[in-house]
Amino acid sequence: MKEMKGTSLIVSVVLFVAVAVLYVLHFAGNGDSSQNNKIERVANTGGLNIAYVKADSVILNYNLSQDLHDEFTKKQEAYTTEYGGKRQTFEKEAAAFQEKLQRGGFLTEQRAVQERDRLLGKEQEIQKLDQELSTKLAEIQQENNQKILDNLMNYLKEFNEQAGYDYILNGSNVLIGDEAHNITGRVLEVLNERYAAEKAQ
């Protein structure tokens, strides 16, 4: 019988790293600058109105992100427990089979083959479970990331209808920049206010 080795559950999925790069957002301002309700354009560089959002800061401080992370961690732990329990049971049965085989504990060779095949089938089931749970975790991560990104993008589009920036950039890659162009704080504040209102409903 071939040596049976455990497969490790791939559970080191990091929720927030996946939103590593946000696309450059380009919104042409089409309102009249003389309108009273128009937010003052903060950045004016070479005729372009530019602002930036530090996406990594939004992800870390957005309350929705934190709640999604907590939910993800609970599911991750549950999946790990489910897989670990079945893996441990299998390894005990495999060790018992090897010990029984070595001491000649099977009445017939056919009975030994049947038990070997049963354990091989069980090992395949555990490997399949490993893949299924890993896939589920990856899908949950993707859904969470998409939800965060959608909320951010939808608000930025709404925000820019009044702000009229030509470009809103992902400031996570800005090494040097004028803080006057940084709209992270106001974006994060509104996102958290809206999320709090949703939870209160």
| Selection from 28-42, 137-151, 160-174, 175-189 with the highest mean pLDDT | 137-151
Spatial neighbors of 93 by CB under 8 A, at least 6 apart, are 119, 122
Reported confidence tier of residue 46, pLDDT bands at 50, 70, 90: low
Reduced to 3 states (helix: H, G, I; strand: E, B; else coil), residue 51 is: strand
| Four-residue CA torsion sign, 122, 124, 128, 131 | positive
Let me know how long the chain is: 201
Residues 132-150 pLDDT 10s: 999 999 999 999 999 999 9
Over residues 170-191, the mean pLDDT reads: 86
* Structural tokens at position 88: 């441990």
Reported confidence tier of residue 171, pLDDT bands at 50, 70, 90: confident
Q: Minimal CA–CA distance to 134: which of 89, 82, 68?
A: 82
Q: Minimal CA–CA distance to 16: which of 59, 55, 58?
A: 59
Decide if 195 contacts 63 (C-beta within 8 A): yes
Decide if 151 contacts 64 (C-beta within 8 A): yes
